[in-house]
Each structure stands twice: as structure tokens, then as C-alpha cells.
């Protein structure tokens, strides 16, 4: 994800968490805050120690980042999102995490209808990244 698409500062994370609008899935929790329609949507990813050791946490972060990158064109602009991985995300694959995001994001204000099929370019990118992971 490009720099302007990421939440990077602790203050930004705190503002989103203070909004207290969240949606849960067995693999992920998503917090959302609307900023301004003209601003790009920014996403922050949090993977705590409960998910696993450092290698597992980094793997989960990469997978969530890839899932968000594939779904990003379908998001409305002007939102700050925080995606928090739950403990069960440590054993999930890219398809599971993408499916979890597709079920959570439409409930937030940022997601259009993501429950439909993936656009062809995102589907091929996801398949290629799964092949690269093996």
C-alpha cells in the first residue's frame, strides 16, 4: 500500500479507536472513522502478540496488507480504518482474510458492496501471491 493509504501515526490510531465504531469477525476486528470525502481512505493494521511469534505476526500483516490492497479500489474515500487481527488469524490464509474483510467492510461506511465476486485484476493478483507464498 502506498504511504498516503496507510495510517502511520499513533495519534491517528487513537482518533479512530476513540470513535468506538467497530465491527467484528472471528479473524478480524475493524474500527472506522470518517474524516473528509476528499481525503483518501487510510488503513492501519495491528497484529498483537496473541497472534503468534514475530514471524507469524509479520506474515499475518503481509497477508492483511495484500487483502486490503486488492479491495482498496472498491472502498469509498475519506475514511480511516484500523484492521486488528485476532488470535485465529495466525493460522489463516489470504483467501480467509480477504473473505473476512469482504464481510466486515460493507458494514462500515467505507465499503461498497464487497460481497460480490472479486474484480478480475484482484483475483489474478491474489492467485499469484498465493503461488509466490508456496
In a domain, 129, yes or no: no
Which 8-state DSSP code applies to residue 46? E
In a domain, 65, yes or no: yes
The CA angle 106-56-81, to the nearest 5 degrees, is 25
Q: Contact 101/28 with Cβ under 8 angstroms?
A: yes
Indicate whether 13 pLDDT > 70.
yes
Alpha-carbon distance of 67 to 39, in angstroms, equals: 21
Alpha-carbon distance of 50 to 88, in angstroms, equals: 9
Indicate whether 37 pLDDT > 90.
no
In a domain, 73, yes or no: yes
**pLDDT band at residue 122, thresholds of 50, 70 and 90?**
very low
pTM exceeds cut of 0.85: no
CATH of the domain at 98: 3.30.230.10
Alpha-carbon distance of 129 to 134, in angstroms, equals: 9
pLDDT of residue 124: 44
Domain hosting residue 54, numbered range: 3-124
Cell (9 digits) for 102: 469482504
Q: What is the pLDDT of residues 14-28, one digit of tens each?
A: 999 998 888 999 999
Count of domains observed in the chain: 1
pLDDT of residue 4: 87
Amino acid at each position: 500500500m502506498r504511504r498516503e493509504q496507510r495510517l502511520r501515526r499513533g495519534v491517528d490510531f487513537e482518533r479512530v479507536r476513540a470513535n468506538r465504531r467497530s465491527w467484528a469477525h472471528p479473524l478480524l476486528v475493524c474500527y472506522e472513522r470518517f474524516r473528509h470525502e476528499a481525503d483518501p481512505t487510510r488503513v492501519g493494521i495491528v497484529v498483537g502478540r496473541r497472534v503468534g511469534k514475530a514471524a507469524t505476526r509479520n506474515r499475518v500483516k503481509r497477508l492483511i496488507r495484500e487483502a486490503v490492497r486488492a479491495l482498496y479500489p472498491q472502498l469509498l474515500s475519506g475514511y480511516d480504518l484500523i484492521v486488528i487481527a485476532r488470535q485465529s488469524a495466525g493460522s489463516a490464509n489470504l483467501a480467509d482474510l480477504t473473505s473476512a474483510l469482504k464481510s466486515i467492510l460493507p458494514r462500515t461506511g467505507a465499503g461498497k458492496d464487497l460481497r460480490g465476486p472479486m474484480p478480475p485484476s484482484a483475483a489474478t493478483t491474489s492467485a499469484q501471491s498465493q503461488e509466490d507464498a508456496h
